[in-house]
């Protein structure tokens, strides 16, 4: 790629001086972290954002969805209070109040990502649309109507992603919602949608489908794949699907959406299965089939930078032009807020100091979680991936229904599953299904990152009674599976001899 980079830049005239050390386009997780690091390194940095500071995570994704999940879980607990020796009650759900709480949560977190905070850190923040004129020049069409051109030594593209809307006949005409638009569109609605269709069986679709069902909607979830959560092992996905069905979600897998429309004022979606078609009526539909990087309108193609599914970068997050880098959803390969922040460190350091020392982005230990109930969290290889790639492995599993704290909490559901190198305790991957799985996974993430095996986890004291003991339990199960039978027989003979 180096030769291509030299050829690409040879056609442009490099400025002798620069207005900025770094310009960051996009103020989501990747952009904010990049700008923060640059300011901490005393670089002159400009951050350009066309919409809202905080990007998708704060305004449309992680923050509002988790606030919704929390309200839905409280409603679920009220409905099932008799499981804890209390009187069960059917919760009253003033949906506008639920939505107002969500917006209050966003507002409370907002100052962390605000213009004021980043300005105080030494970052120049400009509201507007940025376009690359050449590899060192950015033109910003400001929100107030003005235009500004700046030269810079380096540029980081951190423009994030947006919901992908499939080309389904009639979908555009029926007023669909996405994870970006629903928070405002439903904000003042007094009651939850009575009949809700969720299109998509991935993490976003599952979280929203379960939450709305718990708040009182009649939810139908449509997924064209054979099952929900195709990125996770089947045993994990089945736990989630069973829980969602228990909450009243009608799960339709192996169903393909083919058309939408309105008849006599009623909205409908037509689905196909096994060659047969039928229609489902609904009041609202949420499209949650994935997210597509924002690639257009930034002038990347004009500079010869390939933008297909993502912005094409090398191991150092550099594009065809080595001073133009990309980080976050727009760069792939993972669409997680924490990965965007992780990439941003490499992008910022390489942008500022890459001509002295470069660092390869490290994807060796990437964790993620889906915040359904139960949660599903994973790091490293899944069992299905190991089999598909023919990677030698052993599987050790501990069922959480045997854990004291889980039983006491009424959360005796799920498991911890660890993949290890055959005959060794080196961790290749871990999957946790259960309450607080995302929190519990951190121990395995730390162990994998620093080369610790299950033996280290087994030798660590875990507070009793806690859910975290499940991690130690699975390590203990691995140890029991690898007891040396010959040494045990010698030990038994030794103890017999000691008794005389």
Examine the fold and report which residue of 257, 273, 289 is the final residue of a domain before the chain moves on. 289
Q: In the numeric block, which tokens belong to residue 236?
A: 């994990």
Task: Give CA separation, 175 vs 286, 351, 356, 469, 490, in Å.
Answer: 10, 42, 52, 48, 74
Choice among 5-19, 186-200, 277-291 with the minimum mean pLDDT: 5-19
* 348 and 382 assigned to the same domain: no
* 285 and 300 assigned to the same domain: no
Say if residue 142's pLDDT is above 90. Answer: yes
328 in Cβ contact with 158 (< 8 Å): yes
249 in Cβ contact with 372 (< 8 Å): no
113 in Cβ contact with 62 (< 8 Å): no
Q: Which pLDDT belongs to residue 483?
A: 87
Say if residue 232's pLDDT is above 90. Answer: yes
pTM of the model: 0.94
Say if residue 10's pLDDT is above 80. Answer: no
Task: Categorize the per-residue pLDDT at 336 as very low, low, confident or very high, splitting at 50, 70 and 90.
Answer: very high
* 33 and 142 assigned to the same domain: yes
* 221 and 307 assigned to the same domain: no
Q: Which pLDDT belongs to residue 466?
A: 97
Share of the chain above pLDDT 90, in %: 92
Question: What is the rounded CA–CA span in Å between residue 322 and residue 194?
Answer: 52
- Sign of the Cα torsion 262, 263, 264, 267 reads negative
* 326 and 462 assigned to the same domain: no
417 versus 12: the higher-pLDDT residue is 417
The answer to whether residue 279 sits within a structural domain is yes
State the chain's mean pLDDT as an integer: 95
Q: What is the pLDDT of residues 161-211, one digit of tens each?
A: 999 999 999 999 999 999 999 999 999 999 999 999 999 999 999 999 999
Q: In the numeric block, which tokens belong to residue 424?
A: 């060794």
Q: Which pLDDT belongs to residue 491?
A: 86
Question: What is the rounded CA–CA span in Å between residue 462 and residue 248?
Answer: 37
* 455 and 390 assigned to the same domain: yes
The answer to whether residue 75 sits within a structural domain is no
- Sign of the Cα torsion 274, 279, 283, 286 reads positive
What is the mean predicted confidence (pLDDT) over 11-26? Answer: 93
DSSP 392: -
Q: Is 487 helix (H, G, I), strand (E, B) or coil?
A: helix
63 versus 265: the higher-pLDDT residue is 63
What is the mean predicted confidence (pLDDT) over 242-257? Answer: 97
Question: What is the rounded CA–CA span in Å between residue 414 and residue 394?
Answer: 19
Torsion angle (degrees, nearest 10) of CA 293, 295, 298, 301: 150
* 399 and 437 assigned to the same domain: yes
Give the DSSP per-residue string, 117-147: HHHHTT-EEEEEEEEEEETTEEEEEETTS-E
Say if residue 5's pLDDT is above 80. Answer: no
**Cβ contacts of 211-214, under 8 Å, gap ≥ 24:** 211/65, 211/68, 211/69, 211/71, 211/72, 212/72, 213/244, 213/247, 213/248, 213/249, 214/72, 214/73, 214/75, 214/76, 214/79, 214/247
295 in Cβ contact with 125 (< 8 Å): no
Q: In the numeric block, which tokens belong to residue 466?
A: 């806690």
Question: What is the rounded CA–CA span in Å between residue 416 and residue 408?
Answer: 18
* 211 and 343 assigned to the same domain: no
- Sign of the Cα torsion 244, 245, 249, 251 reads positive
User: Residue 6 class from Cβ within 10 Å (0-12 exposed, 13-18 middle, 19+ buried)?
Assistant: exposed
* 257 and 120 assigned to the same domain: no
Q: Which pLDDT belongs to residue 38?
A: 97
The answer to whether residue 102 sits within a structural domain is no
- Sign of the Cα torsion 200, 201, 207, 212 reads positive
| 128 CB neighbour count, 10 Å cutoff | 17
Q: Which pLDDT belongs to residue 394?
A: 97
- CATH at residue 123: 3.50.50.60
| 274 CB neighbour count, 10 Å cutoff | 6
Q: Which pLDDT belongs to residue 13?
A: 84
What is the mean predicted confidence (pLDDT) over 410-427? Answer: 97
95-109 vs 62-79: helix crossing angle, rounded to 10 = 140
What is the mean predicted confidence (pLDDT) over 307-320? Answer: 93
Domain with 296, as residue range(s), is: 2-53+114-162+292-353
What is the mean predicted confidence (pLDDT) over 247-260? Answer: 97
Task: Categorize the per-residue pLDDT at 2 as very low, low, confident or very high, splitting at 50, 70 and 90.
Answer: low
DSSP 478: H
User: Residue 95 class from Cβ within 10 Å (0-12 exposed, 13-18 middle, 19+ buried)?
Assistant: buried
What is the mean predicted confidence (pLDDT) over 219-238? Answer: 97
Give the DSSP per-residue string, 434-469: ETTHHHHTHHHHHHHHTT--HHHHHTS---SS-TTH
The answer to whether residue 61 sits within a structural domain is no
Q: Which pLDDT belongs to residue 1?
A: 60
* 378 and 417 assigned to the same domain: yes
What is the mean predicted confidence (pLDDT) over 37-62? Answer: 95
Say if residue 20's pLDDT is above 70. Answer: yes
Question: What is the rounded CA–CA span in Å between residue 252 and residue 222?
Answer: 5
Q: Which pLDDT belongs to residue 3?
A: 67
Q: What is the pLDDT of residues 438-481, one digit of tens each?
A: 999 999 999 999 999 999 999 999 999 999 999 999 999 999 99
Q: What is the pLDDT of residues 342-392, one digit of tens each?
A: 999 999 999 999 999 999 999 989 999 999 999 999 999 999 999 999 999
């Amino acid at each position: 790629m180096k030769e291509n980079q030299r050829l690409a830049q040879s056609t442009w005239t490099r400025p002798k001086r620069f207005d900025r050390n770094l310009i960051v386009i996009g103020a989501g997780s990747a952009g904010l972290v990049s700008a923060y690091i640059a300011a901490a390194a005393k670089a002159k940095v400009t951050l350009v954002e066309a919409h809202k500071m905080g990007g998708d995570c704060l305004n449309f994704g992680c923050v509002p969805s988790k606030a919704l999940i929390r309200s839905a879980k409280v409603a679920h607990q009220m409905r099932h209070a008799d499981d804890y020796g209390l009187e069960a009650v059917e919760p009253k759900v003033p949906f506008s109040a639920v939505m107002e709480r969500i917006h209050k949560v966003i507002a409370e977190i907002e100052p962390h990502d605000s213009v004021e905070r980043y300005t105080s850190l030494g970052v120049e923040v400009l509201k507007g649309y940025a376009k690359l004129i050449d590899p060192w020049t950015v033109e910003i069409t400001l929100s107030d109507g003005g235009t500004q051109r700046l030269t810079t030594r380096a540029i980081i593209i951190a423009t994030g992603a947006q919901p992908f809307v499939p080309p389904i006949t009639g979908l555009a005409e029926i007023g669909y919602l996405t994870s970006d638009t629903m928070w405002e569109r439903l904000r003042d609605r007094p009651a939850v949608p009575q009949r809700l269709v969720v299109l998509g069986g991935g993490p976003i679709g599952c979280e929203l489908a379960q939450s709305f069902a718990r708040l009182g909607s009649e939810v139908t979830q449509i997924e064209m794949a054979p099952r929900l959560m195709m990125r996770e092992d089947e045993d994990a996905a089945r736990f989630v699907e069973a829980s969602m069905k228990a909450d009243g979600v009608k799960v339709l897998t192996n169903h393909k959406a083919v058309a939408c429309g309105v008849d006599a004022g009623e909205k409908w979606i037509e689905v196909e299965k096994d060659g047969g078609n039928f229609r489902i009526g609904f009041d609202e539909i949420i499209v949650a089939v994935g997210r597509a990087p924002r690639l257009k309108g930034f002038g990347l193609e004009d500079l010869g930078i390939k933008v297909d599914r993502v912005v094409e970068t090398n191991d150092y997050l550099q594009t065809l032009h080595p001073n133009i880098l990309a980080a976050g959803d727009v760069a792939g390969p993972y669409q997680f807020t924490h990965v965007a922040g992780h990439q941003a460190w490499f992008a910022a350091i390489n942008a500022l100091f890459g001509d002295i020392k470069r660092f390869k982005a490290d994807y060796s230990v990437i964790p993620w979680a889906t915040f359904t109930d139960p949660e599903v969290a994973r790091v490293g290889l899944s069992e299905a991936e190991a089999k598909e790639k023919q990677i030698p492995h052993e599987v050790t599993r501990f069922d959480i229904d045997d854990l004291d704290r889980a039983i006491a909490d009424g959360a005796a559901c799920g498991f911890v599953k660890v993949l290890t190198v055959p005959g060794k305790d080196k961790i290749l991957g871990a999957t946790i299904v259960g309450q607080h799985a995302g929190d519990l996974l951190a121990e395995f993430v730390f162990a994998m990152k620093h080369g610790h095996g299950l033996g280290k986890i087994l030798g660590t004291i875990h507070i009793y009674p806690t859910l975290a003991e499940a991690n130690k339990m699975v390590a203990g199960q691995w140890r029991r599976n690898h007891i040396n039978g010959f040494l045990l027989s010698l030990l038994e003979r030794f103890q017999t001899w000691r008794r005389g």
